[in-house]
Amino acid sequence: MQLAYSNDRLSSRMSVDPSVAVEPEVESSVIEWLLHDDQVMRECFTHAAEILKSVTGAAITAITLLDEEHQHYRAEVGMAMPLVTRARSLADYAVRDADLFVIEDAHDDTRFGECMLVQRHPFVRFYAAIALRAPNGEIVGALCAMDPAPGRLDASQRGVFYHLRAMIENDLKMRTATAIDPLTQLYNRRFLLESIARKWKDAREGDVMGSVVVDVDWFKQYNDTYGHQAGDHCLRKVASVMQAAADGERIIAGRMGGEEFGLLVLRAEPVALEDTLEALRQGVEDLAIEHRASPLGMVTVSVGASLTRMTEGSRLAHREGFASADRALYRSKHEGRNLVTMA
């Protein structure tokens, strides 16, 4: 079944209702995890894009992921797509809509005059997309089809978008259940360690990997003083600082267990890494969470980090990188805590 091409104006385009609140962007481990190319979800994305291309006949189909600043393409079928700023993307319009978003001819709508894919190769005119949501309901991206010629969708083609969305979101729900720590919403220990091993193995020679271990100071005493419910709330707040420090695709953050967290920094630079970790330490301090059982009077973290330049000899040395970071963490604790120590 092919697209029924048409030169008609946007008769089937669904307009954005300004009274409907725009969904918040997801700034959680789900989008970070997807940007790091989880193997199972990548295969799911590829199958969905291939099916959509077969059914619609569109020149290009893809999954787009949206972070705060950019639209990232995954599983493109038809051509390799460039990185696009979110503000100039078609997907940013699509995810504002509560339903399937269709543009029959982008040249007939002044809203899309600044969209990069309309103004530049592949000069998109037809575009259709449906928003994809994380299990918590937040939008992570869209399933889309596009073509340099005007087009329209029939009822059965529209239905395929809904079926594929259900398939993707169901797979996403099952995968996040095994990848995300339910308390902090960071990666859990198993998935974090799997991600570290995979990224370390795939790094190019000369890349520098940063291994980081973060521990909440005097956390047992915090639980003893305020109770475990308050302790859980404290860990969630600290985890939010970890997530804020996870800079797009360059940092993977997860909960190692208890009050200990781990981060892997890709393409790390010594000065920049130390600045980032100092900002993380300060960010936790700025939470100003009272901790009467701490000599510092508030919740703080100690941080240890190490850097490894990739060579053939260090290709499988991710455990040593984190062992070195753990020794640096011990020095931070020994020297008074609430410190960042580089190995």
The pLDDT of residue 329 is above 50 = yes
Per-residue pLDDT tens over the stretch 202-225? 888 899 999 999 999 999 999 999
Q: Which CATH number is 238's domain given?
A: 3.30.70.270
Average pLDDT of the chain is 87
Which range, 54-58, 84-88, 169-173, has the best average confidence (pLDDT)? 54-58
The pLDDT of residue 53 is above 80 = yes
Question: Are 223 and 85 contained in the same domain?
Answer: no
- The answer to whether residue 116 sits within a structural domain is yes
pLDDT at 249: 55
pLDDT interval class at 7 (50, 70, 90):
very low
pLDDT at 275: 93
- The answer to whether residue 277 sits within a structural domain is yes
Q: Which CATH number is 100's domain given?
A: 3.30.450.40
pLDDT at 165: 97
pLDDT interval class at 247 (50, 70, 90):
low
pLDDT at 25: 36
Per-residue pLDDT tens over the stretch 123-157? 999 999 999 998 888 899 999 999 999 999 999 99
Q: Which domain holds residue 297?
A: 189-342
The pLDDT of residue 260 is above 80 = yes
Question: Are 155 and 134 contained in the same domain?
Answer: yes
Question: Are 197 and 338 contained in the same domain?
Answer: yes
Question: Are 226 and 166 contained in the same domain?
Answer: no
The last residue of a domain, from among 179, 200, 224: 179
pLDDT at 113: 83
Per-residue pLDDT tens over the stretch 120-131? 889 999 999 999
pLDDT at 216: 98
178 or 227, higher pLDDT: 227
Question: Are 146 and 266 contained in the same domain?
Answer: no
28-32, 45-49, 112-116, 134-138: least confidently modelled range: 28-32
Instruction: Write a three-state SS string for the chain.
Output: CCCCCCCCCCCCCCCCCCCCCCCCECCCHHHHHHHCCCHHHHHHHHHHHHHHHHHHCCCEEEEEEECCCEEEEEEEECCCCCCEEHHHCCHHHHCCCCCCEEECCHHHCHHHCCCHHHHCCCCCCEEEEEEEECCCCCEEEEEEEEECCCCCCCHHHHHHHHHHHHHHHHHHHHHHHHHECCCCCCECHHHHHHHHHHHHHHCCCCCEEEEEEEEECCHHHHHHHHCHHHHHHHHHHHHHHHHHHCCCCCEEEEEEECCEEEEEECCCCHHHHHHHHHHHHHHHHHCCCECCCCCCCECCEEEEEEEEECCHHHCCCHHHHHHHHHHHHHHHHHCCCCCEEEC
Question: Are 221 and 131 contained in the same domain?
Answer: no
- The answer to whether residue 23 sits within a structural domain is no
The pLDDT of residue 26 is above 70 = no
